[in-house]
Amino acid sequence: MDQNAKKQAAAKAAIEIIELEGFIGVGTGTTTDYFIDLLAEHKHQIDGAVASSVASADRLQENGIAVVDLNGVGDLAIYVDGADEATHHRHLIKGGGGALTREKIVAQASKLFICIVDDSKIVDRLGRFPLPIEVIPMARSYVAREMVKLGGRPELRHGFTSDNGHQIIDVYDLEIRKPITLEETINQIPGVVGNGLFARRGADIILVGGDKGVERFD
């Protein structure tokens, strides 16, 4: 089975386990795109969706699903999103698509966070994928120097501006032994808007598409 088929299988498994009602929180990325396309088949059962990016909002609307602002709906029952890396402890690295800050807000505002990935994303320890950090542009060099002190090798994501008007630094070679502690430490650096470690609020369920079907971690 190729990687796209595995992503699609994980997305289908998410559709099968969620309550299709009310407003659904929807993440960003190619795996989530499969989820959106499947959700469209059930659009008459739900009231709409809260999107974690402009790209996902566009795709939802193209599929005839109403998109509402998080401010208008309060906490969500369910959030479905992909990840760049995931562990058996359900800690994640996200932000490969640059939507990490909005993704973290919607994940935090949701009772159940279901992460959908193909099996290439599963790691024993986070950090093979560079950690994305969203920064206020005037702080990018300062934040980069702070990340060097933490053992990382920061690189600016050139030509990229987040939906929030900020820049992204991708940090390579970090040793992420304590994901929750590192997430909190990075959040304390002035100029950091958000970082791609999802450990304080990790996923509740991970659905992993693989050659033998979909495996579930919870």
SS3 content of the chain, % helix, strand, coil (to 5): 35, 30, 40
Bridge-based pairing state of the strands 153-156 and 167-172: antiparallel
Taking the complex as a whole, how short is the minimal distance between the CB of residue 60 and ligand 5RP, in angstroms?
15
Residue with smaller CB distance to ligand 5RP, 128 or 142? 128
Nearer to ligand 5RP, 146 or 170 (CB): 170
Smallest gap from Cβ 75 to ligand 5RP, in A, equals: 21
For residues 162 and 143, is the Cβ–Cβ distance under 8 A?
no
The one segment of 43-51, 82-90, 173-181, 186-194 that binds ligand 5RP by CB under 6 A: 82-90
Please name the residue that has the structure tokens 């509740």: 204
Which x/- pattern, by CB under 6 A, does the window 96-135 give for ligand 5RP? xxxxx--x--------------------------------
Query: What secondary structure does DSSP assign to 26-86, as a single string?
Result: E--SHHHHHHHHHHGGGTTTS-EEEESSHHHHHHHHHTT--B--GGGT-SEEEEEE--SEE
Binding-site member from 95, 127, 202, 209 for ligand 5RP (CB under 6 A): 95
The β-bridge partners of 85 are 93
Residue 103 falls in the annotated catalytic set: yes
Contact yes or no for 31/7 (Cβ under 8 A)? yes
CA distance 92 to 123: 10
Interface of this chain with ligand 5RP, residues 2 to 31, rule: CB under 6 A: 27-31
Residue 202 binding ligand 5RP, by CB under 6 A = no
User: Which is closer to ligand 5RP, CB of 121 or CB of 140?
Assistant: 121
SS3 198: strand
Q: How far is the CB of 31 from ligand 5RP (least distance, A)?
A: 3
Query: What sign does the dihedral 71-30-129-156 (CA atoms) show?
Result: negative
Q: Which of 25, 48, 82, 194 binds ligand 5RP (CB under 6 A)?
A: 82
Shortest Å, Cβ 52 to ligand 5RP: 8
Contact set with ligand 5RP (CB under 6 A): 27-31, 81-84, 94-100, 103
Any idea which residues carry the catalytic annotation?
A: 103
